[in-house]
Amino acid sequence: MKRDAIPWAEAHLPGFPQHASATARAATQALHDELALYPKPGLVSFQDTGSHTDMDAAMFFRSLSCLRHYFRATTLAGSRGATFAELETLGIAAEQRMLVRTQGVNTHRGAIFTLGLLCAGAGALHAGSRPRTAQHLREELRARWFLALVARLGRKRASNGHRAAEAFGLQGIEQEAALGFPTLFEVTAPTLREALGAGLGHPAAQLQALFKTMAVLDDTNLAHRGGLAGLRWAQTQARLFLERGGMHQIDAIAQAQAIHRAFVHRRLSPGGCADVLSAACWLERMDLLA
């Protein structure tokens, strides 16, 4: 069953403000979905701070609460045919607001980039009156901003994730975006859809999608914290969990909790995978999983 899917009939009233507001609401709700989920290996939740000592759930909530206006703005920008440079300006301003709310801690930089671009794509899709499908959304992203995303790959960046990607030869979020987010659309979202279709509740289905993402994504957050060995260890733990049956096992939660504790012991946190899961939750709320 779909939860709080966007009322598309209402969204298609004359003008784009209603659609932009609904799209932004779905984005902030998706970030809350990810925050509320537990047990997530090494990640912050309402139960604990995972592998982090500088952030907690209250900080994440403050951060995501200040982003709705950004998601609305980037949706409207996409509907007007904004360039990537214009979207980037909106994203930088959103990052600055986030850092003010968190006193300098990076809670949602990856989500600002990923969800911001997806919202812009949704705005473009809406403006063009194209069919509302995940495939058409991917096509909009590639058609409008592919060249700018490729050009962005050559820039030097100071973030931990970018340094890890460069040090270990990994594919970062910009490469994923330039390719139309293959992990999101070909792994995470289908896994979430299949898990829900198999009868798992939303938390269990989201955990299944998270573990599947962890098994395949070269998460630069993991590489930053644990090096290449830490990344491969994390991927192996996710694969083994899935091979045993994943969230379909009777003791799935207990196993996930044990994996969570092992990640915390190693100070590992798959923040990039969490961003992809948030994006999949947004797709579901936008009724774009099918």
pLDDT tens across 120-139, in order? 999 999 998 788 899 999 99
Cα(31)–Cα(278) distance, integer angstroms: 5
The amino acid at residue 90 is L
**pLDDT score for 17:** 82
**pLDDT score for 89:** 97
**pLDDT score for 171:** 85
Cα(24)–Cα(30) distance, integer angstroms: 10
**pLDDT score for 239:** 99
pLDDT tens across 174-215, in order? 899 999 999 999 999 999 999 999 999 999 999 999 999 999
Ranges under pLDDT 70 in the chain: 1-15, 154, 156-158, 290
| Helix runs in the chain, H state only | 8-11, 17-36, 57-65, 68-79, 84-102, 109-127, 134-152, 160-168, 173-178, 182-183, 189-197, 202-216, 220-243, 252-266, 271-285
**pLDDT score for 5:** 46
Closest among 269, 207, 197, 279 to 241, alpha carbons compared: 207
DSSP conformation letters of 97-156: HHHHHHTT--SSHHHHHHHHHHHHHHHHHHHTT----HHHHHHHHHHHHHHHHHHHTTS-
Arithmetic mean of pLDDT over the chain: 92
Q: Which two tokens stand for residue 199?
A: 């009868």
**pLDDT score for 28:** 98
Query: End-to-end alpha-carbon separation of the chain, Å?
Result: 12
**pLDDT score for 132:** 86
